[in-house]
């Protein structure tokens, strides 16, 4: 069954806090941080949920009201049990459909091969790098997408 992709509602908060903990462990956002994200729904945050009865994935976007300002993809994750089944791609497609005419930026750890492959497949390209940005000295890679890229995956 393919999950439905829908906008988050207040009642998703608890499940997303738990799923974030499973997906990220220690660097997960706290319940307070998630609460702050949900408080901004309808202003400058978009949270999309992959729903299979329970949430199995999510993406968080910062969408500034000034359209010249870039959108930031703050977070995307899929339940470990559901990975490599296309859910991340479904979430990216739905997120980028909301970014018509906009530039989208994100930051990813250089060693995060799965996320890097996902982003490159959707047309994101590296525009800069923060060397040694993460604890342990790993680089942060800044990637950019612009609307002229195709929304479907680009096969390499
Ligand atoms: C990154 C992530 C969201 C991808 O979700 P997913 O549901 O597995 O992605 P999909 O199944 O839609 O895969 C789409 C494409 O991404 C790439 N990809 C995904 N996981 C990959 C992996 N482990 N290795 C190589 N490529 C990978 C592939 O190109 C894949 O297409 P394919 O399966 O046809 O080869 C998921 O791995 C995840 O939750 N990671 C932990 C959280 C994280 O690091 N988030 C990013 C930082 S916020």
Per-residue pLDDT band at 147 (split at 50, 70, 90): confident
17 pLDDT exceeds 70? Answer: yes
Provide the percentage of residues in the chain whose pLDDT is more than 70.
Answer: 94
pLDDT of residue 150: 52
Average pLDDT, the chain: 94
Q: What is the per-residue pLDDT across 125-141, written as a single tens digit (0 to 9) for each?
A: 999 999 999 989 999 99
CA distance 102 to 148: 10
154 pLDDT exceeds 70? Answer: no
Residue 66 CA to ligand 1 centre (angstroms): 30
Which residue is closest in CA terms to ligand 1's atom 21?
A: 114
pTM over cut 0.75 = yes
pLDDT of residue 94: 98
CA distance 106 to 56: 21
Contact 104, 71 (CB under 8 A): yes
**Domain 4-146 has what CATH class?**
alpha beta
CA distance 78 to 33: 19
Q: What is the per-residue pLDDT across 98-123, written as a single tens digit (0 to 9) for each?
A: 999 999 999 999 999 999 999 999 99
Mean pLDDT of 72-83: 98
Contact 45, 36 (CB under 8 A): no
Q: Which atom of ligand 1 is nearest to the CA of 75?
A: 48
Which residue is closest in CA terms to ligand 1's atom 44?
A: 115
Ligand 1 pocket test: which of 27, 118, 142 has the largest number of ligand atoms within 8 Å of its C-beta?
118
């Amino acid at each position: 069954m393919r999950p439905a992709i829908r906008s988050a509602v207040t009642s998703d908060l608890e499940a997303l806090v738990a799923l974030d903990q499973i997906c990220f462990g220690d660097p997960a956002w706290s319940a307070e941080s998630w609460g702050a994200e949900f408080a901004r729904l309808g202003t400058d945050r978009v949270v999309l949920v992959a729903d299979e009865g329970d949430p199995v994935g999510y993406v968080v976007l910062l969408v500034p009201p000034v359209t010249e300002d870039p959108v930031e993809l703050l977070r995307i994750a899929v339940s470990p049990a559901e990975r490599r089944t296309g859910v991340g791609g479904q979430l990216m497609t739905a997120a980028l459909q909301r970014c018509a005419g906009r530039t989208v930026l994100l930051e990813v750890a250089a060693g995060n091969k799965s996320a890097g492959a996902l982003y490159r497949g959707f047309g994101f390209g590296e525009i800069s790098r923060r060397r040694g940005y993460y604890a342990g000295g790993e680089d942060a890679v800044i990637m950019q997408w612009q609307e002229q890229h195709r929304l479907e995956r680009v096969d390499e």
